[in-house]
């Protein structure tokens, strides 16, 4: 009688912890939604500007007219949403049973690596080339990618949290969004460099050093983790 009672108690405690965790994550998602909603204030073309900036291939702010630009407050809100939302997706991907700390720490490290990767490369290229336009347009392209993909990560994390039993499906969707948004960012950067008159040799060298190699390393780390769980 004691053993079944202990097993039932352990199962109940586990379920209670998971319910508590779900409530916390749901609160974080709602907080992100509120942040995005606050950013939309005084920006009537908020979502149109985000999608337009992601899909158009123009440099600087030429992709927006005066009515399509968003405020500095909205930019900050969207950056915060991107960081939190992609962190939630990484956490949900890495989370298994009771490994809360591992999933949280690993997720934060992966997001930090991704942000560092996407912020440092074009700035180093700008310093060595002496072309300030590389840094300006690289930052703009990165922001446009973050804004659009951040909204997708927010929606994905909400659906994922409410349907945890379909984890395999949501992991696949998450990786697809991550890969496609990264490729879109790289493609737009290459177009800018090409039309800016840069040598293909330097473009190829930049891609291999600061874009393809780090992404390959990140991809291998994720694959190793997923294979260890299969």
Q: Which residue has the tokens 């299969």?
A: 230
Q: Confirm if 118 and 66 have CB atoms less than 8 A apart.
A: no
- On the question of pLDDT at 4 being above 70, the answer is no
Q: Give a yes or no: residue 7 inside a domain.
A: no
Q: Which of 74 and 130 is assigned the larger pLDDT?
A: 74
Q: Give a yes or no: residue 5 inside a domain.
A: no
Q: What is the pTM of this model?
A: 0.81
Q: Confirm if 229 and 96 have CB atoms less than 8 A apart.
A: yes
Q: Give a yes or no: residue 4 inside a domain.
A: no
Q: Confirm if 114 and 98 have CB atoms less than 8 A apart.
A: no
Start-end of H helices in 41-98: 46-55, 72-94
Q: Which of 111 and 132 is assigned the larger pLDDT?
A: 111
* Structural domain boundaries, residue 141: 18-229
- On the question of pLDDT at 84 being above 90, the answer is yes
Q: Give a yes or no: residue 9 inside a domain.
A: no
Domain total of the chain? 1
Q: Which of 120 and 222 is assigned the larger pLDDT?
A: 120
Q: Confirm if 200 and 210 have CB atoms less than 8 A apart.
A: no
Q: Give a yes or no: residue 177 inside a domain.
A: yes
Q: Give a yes or no: residue 11 inside a domain.
A: no
Q: Give a yes or no: residue 3 inside a domain.
A: no
């Amino acid at each position: 009688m004691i053993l079944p009672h202990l097993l039932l108690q352990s199962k109940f405690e586990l379920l209670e912890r998971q319910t508590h965790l779900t409530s916390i994550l749901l609160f974080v998602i709602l907080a992100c939604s509120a942040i995005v909603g606050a950013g939309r204030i005084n920006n009537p073309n908020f979502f149109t500007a985000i999608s337009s900036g992601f899909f158009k291939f123009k440099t600087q702010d030429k992709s927006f007219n005066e009515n399509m630009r968003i405020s500095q407050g909205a930019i900050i809100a969207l950056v915060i949403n991107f960081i939190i939302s992609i962190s939630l997706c990484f956490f949900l991907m890495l989370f298994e049973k009771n490994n809360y700390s591992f999933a949280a720490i690993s997720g934060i490290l992966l997001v930090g690596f991704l942000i560092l990767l996407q912020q440092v490369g074009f700035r180093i290229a700008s310093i060595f080339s002496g072309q300030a336009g590389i840094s300006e347009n690289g930052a703009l392209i990165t922001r446009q990618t973050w804004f659009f993909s951040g909204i997708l990560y927010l929606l994905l994390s909400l659906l994922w949290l409410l349907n945890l039993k379909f984890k395999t499906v949501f992991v696949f969707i998450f990786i697809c969004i991550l890969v496609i948004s990264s490729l879109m960012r790289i493609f737009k950067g290459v177009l800018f460099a090409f039309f800016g008159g840069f040598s293909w040799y330097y473009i190829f060298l930049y891609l291999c050093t600061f874009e393809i190699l780090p992404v390959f390393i990140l991809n291998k780390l994720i694959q190793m983790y997923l294979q260890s769980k299969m």
